[in-house]
Amino acid sequence: METSAVPEPRPAPGRPRRRQLSEEAADHLRELIMSGGLTEGEFLRPERFADELGISVTPVREALLELRAEGFVQQEPRRGFVVLPLTRQDVLDAFLVQAQLAGELAARAAERMGDAELAELRELQDRMRTALAEGRHSEVEDSSFPFHRLINHAAQSPKLRWFMRTAGAYAPRRFFAAVPDWVSQSVREHEDILAALAAGDAEAARRLMHAHIQHSGDLIADHLTAQR
């Protein structure tokens, strides 16, 4: 599941790059496969996913071709696209790459993060802590990704951040809250990461973030294995 490191198109000044429909479709399908929503041997009808996403069939077909290049699906003559096996090691490998990149980004963020960014992280962490205490687990998930995104941006390393986004494509984004122990573990580990960032301790931030991502990968892999 390798990708070539092709730089993202540069957006016009002051305007964020608009994501292509095929990219959104690829993210959706990739996440379904990584989360177990689509299983080995299942044939994928583009029309089904076009209806689900409210888009035309063409970007879905483009997304399937992208997933074929990434090794998630295989195209069979006259039958269409079929989901390839996804092993426990595949999942662990995806999180291993993320852990390395996220750890380095956290270390750089610890050296460059300002008071305003730390205040925003604390606000997100407070929100996650409250949601956990009140049993609103999906809200922990909703705040977790902005927490990580803010750290990645604070690192001021756009090329490394691009590699992180690429690696992050191989992990589900919207089903962590359903994984046993992920929510409480995530809130607890974010506390430690935030403390390291506030102290400006780059090595601690690197170590804690690396461990946090690997722990998440272990939980996801265990969850997917148990579903099969």
Beta carbons within 8 Å of 70's beta carbon, 6+ residues apart: 1, 2, 3, 30, 170
Taking only the tens place, the pLDDT of each residue in 121-169 is 999 999 999 999 998 888 888 899 899 999 999 999 999 999 998 887 7
The whole-angstrom distance between residue 183's C-alpha and the CA centroid of its chain comes to 15
More confident residue, 183 or 180: 183
Angle between helices 202-227 and 21-35 (to 10 degrees): 70
Q: What is the mean pLDDT of residues 112-122?
A: 96
Angle at 34 between CA 188 and CA 151, to 5 degrees: 40
Length reported for the chain: 228
Q: Report which of 225, 223, 227 is spatially closest to residue 215, judged by C-alpha positions.
A: 223
> In the chain, which residue ranges form alpha helices assigned H by DSSP?
21-35, 46-53, 57-70, 88-112, 115-133, 137-154, 158-168, 182-199, 202-227
Give the pLDDT band of residue 91 (cuts 50, 70, 90): confident
What is the structure's pLDDT at 41?
Answer: 93
Strand, coil or helix: 135: coil
Amino acid making up residue 151: I
Please check whether residue 135 is in contact with residue 73, taking contact to mean a CB–CB distance below 8 angstroms: no
Note the CATH architecture for domain 88-227.
Answer: Up-down Bundle (1.20)
What is the structure's pLDDT at 106?
Answer: 98
The whole-angstrom distance between residue 130's C-alpha and the CA centroid of its chain comes to 23
Q: Which two tokens stand for residue 208?
A: 């804690």
What is the structure's pLDDT at 174?
Answer: 61
21-83: CATH number: 1.10.10.10
Q: What is the mean pLDDT of residues 42-71?
A: 94
Domain ranges of the chain: 21-83, 88-227
